[in-house]
Structure 1
Amino acid sequence: MTPTGLRDDTEVRARLDEAVRAMDAPDTVVAYSRDGRRTVRCGGTAPPGPVPRDLLRYELGSASKPYTGLLLAELVRSGALSGDDPAVAHLDPGHRGDEHGRLAAITLTHLITHTAGLPPLPRDFYRQALPHWTTNPYAGYPPERVVRAFLRSRPRHRPGTRWRYSNFGVAVLGHTLAAATATSWEELLTGRVLRPLGLTDTALRPEGPGTDATGHKADAATSVPPLVIGGFQSAGAVRTTPYDALAFVEAHLRPAATPLAEALGAVLRPVLRRGWGHRHVHTLTWFRHPTDEGPLYFHAGATSGQQAFIGFRPDTGTALAAFCTRRHRGGDPFVTAAYALLQDPP
């Protein structure tokens, strides 16, 4: 998607430039819009490369999950499947079930909302991942191994009773959607989400220098290779330009103007509450926080060398997509600065 409709506003530019500096990374891009008028600002501690920072693709990591959730909502809308479908019924129709019946009770909605009772990653994931933990921990764990691990798993809690963030669960969801429709996850996401929303600069695999941004470790100097996601595509494979990412979140503010209006509406509705006083609200795909004027929706993501933040606020008509090429450890100025732009928009 081309960078059209950019906004020229001194105050907005100043706020975004302040956020770029606070994010403290070799390369940073903040793309912001209010009522459809866009402002995009770039910067970083490293010299600019031959390709402008705002035209490169960045790794979304876990911020890929709203794309997978929207795909699920669209497949449910079309009648291809139901959110209440048990995953096992699609992945292994002849499965005999587990001791407590918990595995058979896991639905597609449980998987996307992190309430399936699954751990963050499969038990046998860590041994193969540890030697590559700071570069590509997922690369050696292929799709068929994810499915096998799921069919062998024994959920610790009855599905739907506890929230526990799980890349494993969302990865299983992707393979389940593929099995249920006899279509690969890549084809599903491209055909059902990316193409209808006009996201032509969004990809699911790295293409190399000149197209993809280069990530860095926490020292902001040591580069890391592009993410290879193995069997966890639906949990973290999306890479996109700031303009395409902004278009994705803007679609949630004006769903009627898209071919996915009903699905976009579905992913805004709260589906669970957790935490002290049930203050933490989640939709099918988004973290939803309250503000004085209305809810704020967001999701963040991190890979070995990059971070991403996408979000929007219907009450202020604001949308944000931010990226940096550094993996922060400990205190995270990137997420703090990005969140503040939505919480208190310029």
Structure 2
Amino acid sequence: MGADTAQPPLSDPDLEHLLRPLFAAAAPEGGIAVAAIRGTERTVACRGYADRAGERPVRADTRFELGSVTKTFTALLLADMVARGEVGYDDPIDRYLPAEVLPGYPHERPITLLHLATHTSGLPRLPVGLAPAAVPRWFTSPYATFSAAHLLRALPRTPVRGTPGTRVRYSSLGAGLLGLVLERAAGQRYQELLGGRVCEPLGLVDTSCGTGRDETTGYRRGRWIPSFKVPALPGAAALRSTADDMLRYLQAHLAVDAVPIPERTGAAASLRTALREVSLPRVARRGFGQRIGLSWHHRPAEDAADREVVFHSGSTGRCTAFVGFDRAAQTGLVVLAGPLATGRRRFAQSAHEALRALAA
């Protein structure tokens, strides 16, 4: 496969057929970028436009909002810091947060960093007190005015359901709080910490929290959608990236020992250890037939009982993203889309099917 960032069909007819449902998912005013890995083959294919006027075709370096796929980067940062001995998976959050901002515990068992990374903290999906600011702009930029100061004021009023570590309850609050804890442990802002520990070593040159060049512009039903901002919880959903960068991200997870990482003191060894750690399943998700690793979801491969598909999806008002891989089959898929013509659930299902077909 060769890189293809223009509009013509892919040179591989089988791959063109496999990806057609994903290309069809993009709305007329949107665009889509797909990166695929199959063994030693790599390709990036793009369709549609990054602007409503149809003047900027989507390319391999067009930036899309990743939404909750950001959580996998935060988990990788956690694993790297554990490998360096800077934090521990079983560290309680009160080691890094002052007592006056801790959530109230119904049990004596504290919330740990591992609980935050595996969605077993018992924290709610979203912060307490978010609704008044979020509801008026729920379909545009619901978190834009909810700051880190708001979050710290809300945490003491935040309920913890059940005993931490006993049940999976998906929590963007927990993932975002993990990012805040890692900031405090390292003494650096999330963006700088992630950039220096993950993005720069992996060669992810266009992956960051801030807006930049060649961003997709978002319209839904003719209405302009502003760029996504989540100042209180960047570790949960703030990242933007490109198909080119996400292809490198996939490669790093599929071939840990082969990925080129600059040999700075401790950097290469700790990051390789982290890349192995994040894709290990940790806890079962009851009733879903899935397991959870460090943020990543695990689902058994349909054609082989001894293999698992590892994946995560995310969405913002503007964009929808899917990232998944099958390490045993050495296949991976990234799909970054602007406004969709189909529902997000149907889009995610199409991405799952395409990933399984790649492995087959």
Q: TM-score, structure 1 length as denominator?
A: 0.90
1:321 matches 2:327: no
Cα pair distance change 1:152/1:328, threshold 3 Å: farther
User: Take 1:268 and 1:63, find their aligned partners in 2: how far apart are those partners?
Assistant: 14
Q: CA RMSD in A?
A: 2.4
Which of 302, 306, 311 is equivalent to 2:319? 306
Task: Classify the secondary structure of the residue corresponding to 2:244.
Answer: helix
Which stretches in structure 2 are left out of the alignment for 5+ residues?
A: 5-9, 260-267
Corresponding residue for residue 285 of structure 1: 295
Corresponding residue for residue 257 of structure 1: 258
Corresponding residue for residue 41 of structure 1: 45
Matched AA of 1:216: Y
User: Take 1:267 and 1:331, find their aligned partners in 2: how far apart are those partners?
Assistant: 25
Matched AA of 2:43: T
User: Take 1:157 and 1:99, find their aligned partners in 2: how far apart are those partners?
Assistant: 9
1:20 matches 2:30: no
Cα pair distance change 1:96/1:302, threshold 3 Å: closer
Cα pair distance change 1:203/1:99, threshold 3 Å: closer
User: Take 1:290 and 1:121, find their aligned partners in 2: how far apart are those partners?
Assistant: 29
In terms of mean alpha carbon deviation, does 128-137 or 328-337 score higher?
Answer: 328-337
User: Take 1:298 and 1:43, find their aligned partners in 2: how far apart are those partners?
Assistant: 23
Task: Classify the secondary structure of the residue corresponding to 1:53.
Answer: coil
Q: How does 1:206-225 map to 2 (within 5 A)?
A: 206-207=211-212, 210-217=213-220, 219=221, 221-225=222-226
Q: Please say if residues 203 and 240 of structure 1, whose CA atoms lie closer than 8 Å, have aligned partners that are also in contact.
A: yes
Cα pair distance change 1:158/1:33, threshold 3 Å: same
1:68 matches 2:74: yes
1:341 matches 2:327: no
Shift of residue 36, structure 1, vs aligned partner = 3.7
Matched AA of 2:214: T
Q: How does 1:27-176 map to 2 (within 5 A)?
A: 27-44=31-48, 48-92=54-98, 98=104, 100-101=106-107, 105-176=110-181
Matched AA of 2:82: V
Aligned length: 337
Task: Classify the secondary structure of the residue corresponding to 1:55.
Answer: coil
Corresponding residue for residue 297 of structure 1: 310
Corresponding residue for residue 266 of structure 1: 277
Matched AA of 2:284: R
Deviations 1:65-115 (A, max 9, x none): 10000000000010001011111220115779846355x700011111111
Shift of residue 55, structure 1, vs aligned partner = 2.2
Shift of residue 156, structure 1, vs aligned partner = 2.1
Q: Please say if residues 250 and 312 of structure 1, whose CA atoms lie closer than 8 Å, have aligned partners that are also in contact.
A: no
User: Take 2:53 and 2:102, find their aligned partners in 1: how far apart are those partners?
Assistant: 58
1:246 matches 2:257: no
Cα pair distance change 1:77/1:228, threshold 3 Å: same
Shift of residue 169, structure 1, vs aligned partner = 0.8
User: Take 1:18 and 1:123, find their aligned partners in 2: how far apart are those partners?
Assistant: 39
User: Take 1:153 and 1:186, find their aligned partners in 2: how far apart are those partners?
Assistant: 26
Corresponding residue for residue 185 of structure 2: 180
Q: Please say if residues 256 and 275 of structure 2, whose CA atoms lie closer than 8 Å, have aligned partners that are also in contact.
A: yes
Corresponding residue for residue 263 of structure 2: none
User: Take 2:243 and 2:100, find their aligned partners in 1: how far apart are those partners?
Assistant: 44
Shift of residue 331, structure 1, vs aligned partner = 6.3
1:275 matches 2:275: no
Q: TM-score, structure 2 length as denominator?
A: 0.86
Q: Please say if residues 103 and 155 of structure 2, whose CA atoms lie closer than 8 Å, have aligned partners that are also in contact.
A: no
User: Take 1:306 and 1:96, find their aligned partners in 2: how far apart are those partners?
Assistant: 33
Q: Please say if residues 33 and 320 of structure 1, whose CA atoms lie closer than 8 Å, have aligned partners that are also in contact.
A: yes
Shift of residue 241, structure 1, vs aligned partner = 0.6
Shift of residue 123, structure 1, vs aligned partner = 1.9
Which stretches in structure 1 are left out of the alignment for 5+ residues?
A: none
Percent identical across equivalent pairs? 34
Shift of residue 10, structure 1, vs aligned partner = 2.7
Shift of residue 320, structure 1, vs aligned partner = 0.9
Cα pair distance change 1:308/1:330, threshold 3 Å: closer
Task: Classify the secondary structure of the residue corresponding to 2:216.
Answer: coil
